[in-house]
Amino acid sequence: MNFIEARKLIHEYIRRDEEENVESILTALDGVDLDVKQGEFVAVLGHNGSGKSTLAKHLNLLLHPSGGTLWVDGKNTQEADSLWDIRQNVGMVFQNPDNQIIASVVEEDVAFGPENIGIPTSEIWGRVERSLKSVGMIQYRQHSPNKLSGGQKQRVAIAGVMAMEPKCIVLDEPTAMLDPNGRKEVLDAVVRLNQEKGVTVILITHYMEEVIRADKVYVMDHGKVVMQGVPRAIFSQVDALKSYRLDVPQITLLAHELHEAGLPIPDGILTRQELVEALCQLY
Amino acid sequence: MLRDITIGQYYPADSVIHKLDPRTKLTATLIYVVSLFVFRGMAGFVAVTLGLLIIIRVSKVPFFYMIKGLKAIMIIVVITVIFNLFLTPGEAIVTFWKLKITWEGLKNAGFLTVRLIYLILGSSVLTLTTTPNQLTDGLEKALKPLNKLHVPVHEISMMMSIALRFIPILVEETDKIMKAQLARGADFESGNLVKKAKSMVPLLVPLFISAFRRANDLAMAMEARCYHGGEGRTKMKPLKYKKRDGVTYVVIAAYFAVVVSLRLVL
Amino acid sequence: MSIILDKVSYVYSEKTAYEIQALKNISLKIQDGEFIGIIGHTGSGKSTLIQHLNGLMRASSGGIYYNGQDIYDEDYNRKELRGKVGLVFQYPEHQLFETTIFADVCFGPKNQGFSRKESELKAFSALRSVGLPEDYWYRSPFELSGGQKRRVAIAGVLAMDPEVLVLDEPTAGLDPKGRNEILDQVARLQRERNITIILVSHSMEDVANYVDRLIVMNQGSILFDGTPKEVFAHYQELEAVGLAAPQVTYLMHDLSQYGIPVCGMATTMEEAKQLILQAFAKK
């Protein structure tokens, strides 16, 4: 069985007026199927309001589905007693770095998760050290989070999740509030965790550049999965992506435009190097 | 503006007092405060002064740094002195118009000033040598017996430490909101009290909305990291008494005994 | 009409241990009707710089002249200056406070001392200019999406009839489509209202597509100042300070190295496409 399996997942936000009458229903997830294997790097793309954040919050049971089924790590999320088990195994990193750091010292924040699940003191120290090292923040262990840059804060947040030794981390637009350098720092840390520690990664984002390194990409629109496949296959469908309010990396777009203009360039060019090679072969 | 308040901000230094268990420091501070209200006469005054000077010296916090914190309470001290000076009945030394300064009033005012200033200095040693987190940890553990009375000790201390983390963030945010509204021609300074209060609306609404949003996000982030109250929680830095804490308890008890006996004897 | 900065320096926390020189001897002339981009890292001084332009921050040394008048002159009306140089900060959440969007946009002109009627007329025209559909106007600003909030925030400043509009990271956190919509709208404003636009950004691609003049800030100084082409020609120096030219600029360079004769350099995708097609046509 896959690490995460969702079948026809539905989530409705129901707004009620003062007399508890249903005022409006917003279907944020509309029959989503999702399969994530252990150790995979999966990206979920979508514009703001496409339902991708709602999906992320289901994966560690911050939200419960209105319909459909979701298995995480072989457990049905409908069963109440699997809640803490799943939360421990599926860590979650949110968009705003400031609003997820609890303690006033970096190492104490990283210890927050292990403290909650009752890890003995001596082991907490080891975990804090290992997870701060894994995101390259060990030299800041004594610092106040307020003095760190956005990228550094977000890496502390990732370390805080890693200290719980989860099998999977879900990152809900972790780079949306960061500058380009911060974005790169965070993404590199995530890719490293995936490749070196074998952590399953689910990255929710609207930056196309960030999903190039993923094993599999899901594209969401209006609560539905509208495209899925390897990055190259996704990026070869430039017009479809545009219709879902997304855009493709500048190089891919250029390759697509050149193709439209009559140059026989292959579909799904992702990097500058690939485009240079393709053009050299044609010339 | 708000950033200039320095009373009791942690001053990092390598001193014995910095290393003490926060519970020890809390107890010692409490005893010191009580001693300020117990002491009487010149001998007692010498004892509490000596006590304070020794603590400040040992804490390695520069003296001028501590004095800076006093500025904020100076106005209270002045008002108290004036009240005591003029309103204590007794034998008049100087009289002008209907006001008279009495010998008793002078004495009262003097001792009260000492008490107030020593109180602030003494308790600021606690906050200057203890990080807010240690302080809440210490409070949580010291107040643990209250749990039996269904006082949510863990929750209170968690709220305190979160508040401490978010105060600087909200201060900075206030600054940003103020600038954004100033750029739209807002005026926070001129006008009478009513107009001024009204002009705060464009500042307070965004600030509250943001604070609620942050609280909401934070609650979700804590839940995602398996937070479920104080039950079954372990600590990365559990509080443990060391030898120096024992010594401190003995010293502070001896100090208190001296102050009390000076009062009884003299 | 112009803004002139003459050797402007700004020091944070002067004469303390935390002293930071945020601006170092900045001299700059901004002409009427220009479309300027300012790029740089977080902490490069770009935010400090723009807050000097409307007098929110006061230079530690140096002078600023608006239309030839010294804004630090004692009898200069600095409050009026804030209406002439409109500054829109990064987070619209920091300024929206009224119960309806329309009332919120009226806030600026009311502060300038216009009557209710005049304020409403100005708000009306500002909301039109940012392209927010009329059926939104009487809703709460807090119900809007990120991109719409951004528009309302811009309208709130635009209603003060500024001669210069400064936008700090207007696209941060928006999805690709929302990003392009806002930038297109800003470009339209510049044409239709004929106002000077200063756009602060850390996205090279965004800036290259829109602005006529680019100012690169680094560590409190101006590193480059020129047309995007002139600035991006220094892509190696940009890289040395951790900034990068658009991908297509590198591509052109790579192609000529591999012997494909593309003449000239490109900073936008459209230019790159034309140059490549020309090179292939000549073959």
Q: What is the pLDDT of residues C44-89, one digit of tens each?
A: 899 999 999 999 999 999 999 999 899 998 888 888 899 999 999 9
Terminal alpha carbon distance of chain A = 49
| pLDDT per residue as tens, chain A (283 positions) | 789 999 999 999 888 877 888 888 888 999 999 999 999 999 999 988 889 999 999 998 999 999 999 999 888 888 878 888 889 999 999 999 999 999 888 999 999 999 999 999 999 999 999 999 999 999 999 888 888 999 999 999 999 999 999 999 999 999 988 888 888 999 999 999 999 999 999 999 988 888 888 999 999 999 999 999 999 899 888 889 888 888 788 888 899 999 988 888 888 788 888 899 988 888 7
Residue type, B199: S
Could you give the 3-state DSSP secondary structure of residue C166? Answer: strand
pLDDT score at B2: 43
Q: Tell if the CB–CB gap between C283 and A258 is shorter than 8 Å.
A: no
The shortest CB-CB distance from C251 to any of A177, A181, A276 is to A276
C115 in a domain, yes or no?
yes
Q: Tell if the CB–CB gap between B168 and A124 is shorter than 8 Å.
A: no
Judgement on whether residues C141 and C278 belong to the same structural domain of the protein = no
Q: Please name the residues in contact with B84: beta carbons below 8 A apart, sequence gap of 6 or more.
A: B105, B108, B109, B112
Q: Tell if the CB–CB gap between B233 and A91 is shorter than 8 Å.
A: no
Judgement on whether residues C183 and C116 belong to the same structural domain of the protein = yes
The Cα-based distances of A89 to A3, A61, A99, A193 in angstroms read 11, 11, 22, 15
Chains sharing 3 or more CB pairs under 8 A with chain A: B, C
Nearest CA in chain A to B231: A116
pLDDT score at A249: 82
Question: Phi first, then psi: what are they for A131, rounded to 5°?
Answer: -75, -35
pLDDT score at B3: 45
Q: B79: pLDDT confidence band, cut at 50, 70 and 90?
A: confident
Judgement on whether residues C227 and C256 belong to the same structural domain of the protein = no
At B183-202, the pLDDT tens digits run 998 888 877 888 888 889 99
Q: B4: pLDDT confidence band, cut at 50, 70 and 90?
A: very low
Number of independent structural domains in chain C: 2
* B243-265 and B22-38 helices, crossing angle to 10°: 10
Judgement on whether residues C133 and C198 belong to the same structural domain of the protein = yes
> How many CB atoms lie under 10 A from the CB of residue A75?
15
The reply to whether C261 touches chain A by the CB within 8 Å rule is: no
Sheet holding C20-31, edge to edge: C20-31, C2-12, C61-66, C69-70
pLDDT score at C16: 65
Judgement on whether residues C274 and C190 belong to the same structural domain of the protein = no
Q: Please name the residues in contact with A70: beta carbons below 8 A apart, sequence gap of 6 or more.
A: A4, A5, A6, A7, A9, A58, A59, A76, A77
Judgement on whether residues C94 and C129 belong to the same structural domain of the protein = yes
pLDDT score at A143: 87
The reply to whether A103 touches chain B by the CB within 8 Å rule is: yes
Closest chain A C-alpha to B147 CA, distance in angstroms: 19
Alpha-carbon span B18 to B103, nearest angstrom: 42
pLDDT of B101 strictly over 60: yes
Nearest CA in chain B to A124: B236
The Cα-based distances of A218 to A46, A89, A145, A274, C269 in angstroms read 9, 22, 33, 23, 26
pLDDT of C178 strictly over 90: no
- A147 neighbourhood in chain B, CB within 8 Å: none
- A272 neighbourhood in chain C, CB within 8 Å: 247, 250-251, 254
The reply to whether A114 touches chain B by the CB within 8 Å rule is: yes
Q: Tell if the CB–CB gap between A180 and C202 is shorter than 8 Å.
A: yes
Judgement on whether residues C152 and C195 belong to the same structural domain of the protein = yes
At C258-282, the pLDDT tens digits run 888 887 788 888 889 999 988 888 8
Judgement on whether residues C159 and C208 belong to the same structural domain of the protein = yes
Mean pLDDT of C236-252: 86
Determine how β-strand A22-36 pairs with β-strand A200-205. Answer: unpaired
Average pLDDT, chain C: 89
DSSP assignment, residue A269? -
The shortest CB-CB distance from A124 to any of B165, B213, B236 is to B236
Q: C1: pLDDT confidence band, cut at 50, 70 and 90?
A: low
Kindly list the domain boundaries of chain B, sorted by start residue. 1-130+239-266, 133-235
The Cα-based distances of A276 to C246, C247, C254, C256, C264 in angstroms read 15, 12, 7, 10, 17
Mutate one of B175, B184, B212 to test the C interface: name it (highest C CB count within 10 A): B184
Judgement on whether residues C263 and C212 belong to the same structural domain of the protein = no
* Range of A80-89, B66-75, C23-32 with top mean pLDDT: C23-32
Mean pLDDT of B47-67: 87
Burial pattern B202-223, b for ≥16 Cβ within 10 A else e, equals bbebbbeebeeebeebbebbbb
The reply to whether C18 touches chain A by the CB within 8 Å rule is: no
> How many CB atoms lie under 10 A from the CB of residue C44?
24
Give chain A's contact residues with C (Cβ, < 8 Å): 47-49, 149-150, 176-177, 179-182, 206, 208, 245-247, 249-251, 253-254, 257-258, 261, 263, 272, 275-276, 279-280, 282-283
Residue numbers of the domain that contains C260: 246-283
C38 in a domain, yes or no?
yes
- A261 neighbourhood in chain C, CB within 8 Å: 273, 277
Q: Which of C215, C235, C255 is the last residue of a domain?
A: C235
Q: B161: pLDDT confidence band, cut at 50, 70 and 90?
A: confident
Range name among A204-213, B67-76, C7-16, C96-105 with the lowest pLDDT average: B67-76
C157 in a domain, yes or no?
yes
Q: Which two tokens stand for residue C116?
A: 């209710």
- C54 neighbourhood in chain B, CB within 8 Å: 183
Nearest CA in chain C to B188: C111
- The answer to whether the CB of A124 falls within 8 A of the CB of A141 is no
Judgement on whether residues C215 and C175 belong to the same structural domain of the protein = yes
- A106 neighbourhood in chain B, CB within 8 Å: none
Q: Tell if the CB–CB gap between B227 and A119 is shorter than 8 Å.
A: no
Q: Tell if the CB–CB gap between C111 and B205 is shorter than 8 Å.
A: no
pLDDT of B30 strictly over 90: yes
Nearest CA in chain B to A99: B218
Judgement on whether residues C226 and C262 belong to the same structural domain of the protein = no
pLDDT score at A128: 96
pLDDT score at B8: 56
C224 in a domain, yes or no?
yes
Q: C17: pLDDT confidence band, cut at 50, 70 and 90?
A: low
The shortest CB-CB distance from A177 to any of C173, C277, C279 is to C173
Q: Tell if the CB–CB gap between C247 and A251 is shorter than 8 Å.
A: yes
Q: Which of C235, C255, C270 is the last residue of a domain?
A: C235
Q: Which two tokens stand for residue C60?
A: 């530690």
Query: Hey, what domains does chain A have and what are their CATH numbers?
Result: 4-230 (3.40.50.300)
- The answer to whether the CB of A198 falls within 8 A of the CB of A39 is yes
